Amino acid sequence: MELIFLGTSAGVPTRTRNVTAMLLNLQHPTRAGLWLFDCGEGTQHQLQHTAFHPGKLDKIFITHLHGDHLFGLPGLLCSRSMAGNVQPLHIYGPAGIREFVQTALRLSGSWTDYPLTIEEVTPGLVVDDGLRKVTAWPLAHPVECYGYRIEEHDKPGALDAAALQAAGVQPGPLFQRLKAGETVTLADGRVINGADYLAAAQPGKKLAIFGDTSPCPEALALAHGVDVMVHEATLEAAMEEKANSRGHSSTRQAAQLAADAGAGKLIITHISSRYDAQSSQALLAECRATFSQTQLAEDFLVVRI
C-alpha cells in the first residue's frame, strides 16, 4: 500500500497546505484499487499534481461532514463525470452524506454518468473485498465522525515444495490445493494435509486513518498494532485544553495514543493554519518526545506501508 497526502491543513487552506484529503493506492498485481479518504475543498486540483486520475478512484471514505473534509466532493464527482469516466464509484460516510451529495447535484443541475453508490456507515465492518477489510470506529467530535481501520487479510505461507516432493508428491494441480490448506488423498491412498507443508501466514499490513477527534476510548482499539497511524495534531501541547474543547487533539495526545496502541509509525496531519513551516517542526518535536517514530505530513508526502 502507498499513502499520498493531498491536503494536511486544519479548517482552512494555507499557501503550502490544502485541507484534508488522502489517497490510498492499493498496489496488487490483479486487484489494485485507489481509495480517497476525505475530500476537502480543492482536492481535485491537488490530484492534478499527482500521477493519479479521478477516474481511477473506486471508493471514497468520508470521516465526517465538516467542510474542510467534504466541500471538494461535489466538484470532484462532477469533473469525474465530465471527463467521460464510466467506472463505478462507491462513497462511504456518516449519516447525511447521501443527502449532501444528492442535494448538491440536484440544486446545481448536475449528474454523474457513472454508477454512484452512497452508503451511510455505522460502527463496524464497512467493506471486505476479499483482500482487505475496512472497519469504522466512532470518534469524539462535535458532529458524527469516524476513523477507518484498513487491514489486509493475512497472506498464506509459502508451500514447502521440496518436502512434498521428498514425500513423493510431484508438482501439479495437487500443489494448488495443498497451498490452499486442503487435505488431499493420493493415488496410493495416503492422505496429505496441506497445512502441514505451509510456512506461517504472512500478516497483512494495517493502517488507521483518524478523523478529527479528542481523546476517546475507541481510539486505542482503532489504532491497536497498526503499521501506520494517521492522526490529527491540530494544536501544540500548551493548547491542549482548547483543542479538546473543539473535538481535537494535541501533539502530546496523538503521540501518547500511538505509544499506547503499539503503532509502528505515527503521521501527524490536520495542522492548524497558525503554524507555518518552521513552527510545524516544533509540533513534530513535541510528538517525538513521546513517540520517536513520528513523521509530519506535508502536502504530496508519499508513505509506503
| Residue 113 is a catalytic residue | no
CATH architecture of 2-155+202-304: 4-Layer Sandwich (3.60)
* DSSP notation for 135-151: EEEE-BSSS--EEEEEE
* Residue (of 205, 77, 68, 211) closest to 150 by Cα position: 205
Cell of 141: 467530535
- Residue ranges in the chain modelled with pLDDT below 50: none
Give pLDDT, residue 283.
97
User: Residues spanned by CATH 3.60.15.10 within the chain?
Assistant: 2-155+202-304
- Tell me the pLDDT tens digit for each residue of 54-105: 999 999 999 999 999 999 999 999 999 999 888 999 999 999 999 999 999 9
Give pLDDT, residue 180.
74
Give pLDDT, residue 160.
79
Catalytic position from the list 38, 68, 212, 299: 68
